[in-house]
Amino acid sequence: MSLVSFCLVREELARTCPNAELIFTMQGLGAGPIIVAGNEEQKQKYLPPVASGKSIITFALTEPSGGTDAASILSQAKREGDHYLLNGSKTFISMAPDADVYAVFAKTDPSKGSKGITGFIVEKGFPGFVPGERLDLIAAHPIGSIYFEDCSIPVANRLGEEGEGFKIAMQTLDFFRTTVGACAVGMAQAALEESLKYAKQRLAFGQPIAKFQLIQAKVADMAMKISAARLLVFQAAFLRDGGKKNITAESSMAKLYATEIAQQVIDQAVQVHGGYGVCKGYLVEKLYREIRALRIYEGTSEIQHLVIANQLLRD
Ligand code: CAA
């Protein structure tokens, strides 16, 4: 799928059905490392069941010791003949521990930092794979921990060569960070539409609140920010689909700006709704809880600033 198509689908699903959006996206993120670096055999074996929904796949990079400093992961895989033995743990893994397949990143040479990381395709049935606990978030999202205790992974399940794992993970995130921006735009758009509807119906001081200029200023500001965010998202997507190899900065800008403004837009939507905005059962209340994680996952807003600056200084 082109990045533009992926963003269009993600924005529209986020606007209309966040649960469908979650399923669509998580299958994509989990499959990402196989699409980026898998060989033909791995693609044939693992991708069709993911596309048809028979197999749930996920992306497993983050560890209890930290998510932002991805190069410092502690999980280690040691080669023993035609297998690797993997030890360590992963947490904040979407769809875990229920997912069937995991794109796991672990150190094969701890002395080499980010260049000592290797990617693996791990099935939950592999010996030594231990399902962990589920985490309870402020907004419904299936997420949890997994453990590896001498987990035996065939060499055939290694993604690319040893040491290529960090780049595979980062390339996957370059693609998906743009789409996180698209998701944020969709959620903000839903909040705007709900606010417009509510402002036209809700009466105060004898007229719909939409007649008041302070409400008008809010919705104008919301629409303007959403449009700007959407343009950043599709700029990154068009550049990548047009053949630009490195969209790291554009992707981070799209994610950073769209998730930050979506938080502001949804907050304003709650304000337009007054007391009802914080009542369970109102869409804006749900969006208010759901948007928060987007400024954290797949790289915090703070890390996106650093990624953008690194690219600018490098160039
Ligand atoms: N594409 C290709 N290569 C890349 C790259 C990219 N986007 N980014 C970095 N690299 C390469 C660099 O070029 C470098 O290689 P060379 O030395 O050969 O040039 C190597 O990788 C190391 O790069 P850095 O020195 O920049 O690495 P760093 O250790 O300083 O880390 C970082 C950079 C930006 C902080 C990175 O660790 C990062 O993005 N952290 C955030 C991780 C993250 O997003 N975690 C979320 C996990 S997923 C999730 O949240 C989903 C869920 O399910 C909840």
The token pair that represents 174 in the structure block: 């370059």
List pocket residues of ligand 1, CB cut-off 6 Å: 59, 61-62, 67-71, 92-94, 114, 166-167, 170-171, 173-174, 248, 297-299, 303, 307, 310
Kindly report the number of other CB atoms within 10 A of residue 306's CB atom: 13
User: Which residue in 305, 301, 306, 297 sits closest to 91, CA to CA?
Assistant: 297
> For 268-299, what is each residue's pLDDT tens digit?
999 999 999 999 999 999 999 999 999 999 99
Contact, 119 vs 104, CB < 8 A?
A: yes
Q: What is the pLDDT of residue 86?
A: 98
Contacts of 279 (CB under 8 A, 6+ apart): 285
Q: How far is CA 289 from CA 60, 183, 192, 275, in A?
A: 24, 14, 16, 16
Kindly report the number of other CB atoms within 10 A of residue 307's CB atom: 21
Using only C-alpha atoms, what is the Rg of the chain?
21
User: Which residue in 295, 284, 302 sits closest to 261, CA to CA?
Assistant: 295
Q: Give the ranges where 202-247 is alpha helix by DSSP (H).
A: 213-241
pTM here is 0.95
Q: Find the 263 Cα to ligand 1 centroid distance in Å.
A: 25
- Kindly state the average pLDDT of the residues 152-166: 98
Contact, 54 vs 179, CB < 8 A?
A: no
Split at pLDDT 50, 70, 90, the class of 190 is very high
Per-residue pLDDT for 187 more than 80? Answer: yes
Give the percent of the chain with pLDDT over 70: 100
Kindly report the number of other CB atoms within 10 A of residue 47's CB atom: 17
Q: Which residue has the tokens 């080669």?
A: 79
Q: Find the 299 Cα to ligand 1 centroid distance in Å.
A: 9
Closest residue (by CA) to atom 36 of ligand 1?
Answer: 70
Helices 213-241 and 248-273, packing angle to 10 deg: 160
| Residue 188, helix vs strand vs coil | helix
Q: Which residue has the tokens 């809880």?
A: 289
Split at pLDDT 50, 70, 90, the class of 81 is very high
Q: Find the 114 Cα to ligand 1 centroid distance in Å.
A: 8
Closest residue (by CA) to atom 37 of ligand 1?
Answer: 70
Split at pLDDT 50, 70, 90, the class of 201 is very high
Task: Please measure the distance between the N-terminal and C-terminal CA atoms of the chain and give it in whole angstroms.
Answer: 29
Q: Find the 174 Cα to ligand 1 centroid distance in Å.
A: 9
Question: In this structure, which amino acid lies at residue 3?
Answer: L
Please state, rounded to an integer, the average pLDDT across all residues of the chain: 97
Split at pLDDT 50, 70, 90, the class of 54 is very high
Split at pLDDT 50, 70, 90, the class of 18 is confident
Split at pLDDT 50, 70, 90, the class of 1 is confident
Q: What is the pLDDT of residue 261?
A: 98
- Kindly state the average pLDDT of the residues 50-58: 97
Q: Is 210 exposed, middle or buried (0-12, 13-18, 19+ CB in 10 A)?
A: middle
As a whole number of angstroms, the distance between CA 76 and CA 110 comes to 8
Closest residue (by CA) to atom 16 of ligand 1?
Answer: 115
Q: What is the pLDDT of residue 223?
A: 98
User: Which residue in 38, 234, 242 sits closest to 120, CA to CA?
Assistant: 38
Pocket test for ligand 1, best of 26, 56, 114, 255 (most atoms within 8 A of CB): 114
Split at pLDDT 50, 70, 90, the class of 140 is confident
Closest approach atom of ligand 1 to CA 92: 54
| Residue 167, helix vs strand vs coil | helix
> For 164-181, what is each residue's pLDDT tens digit?
999 999 999 999 999 999
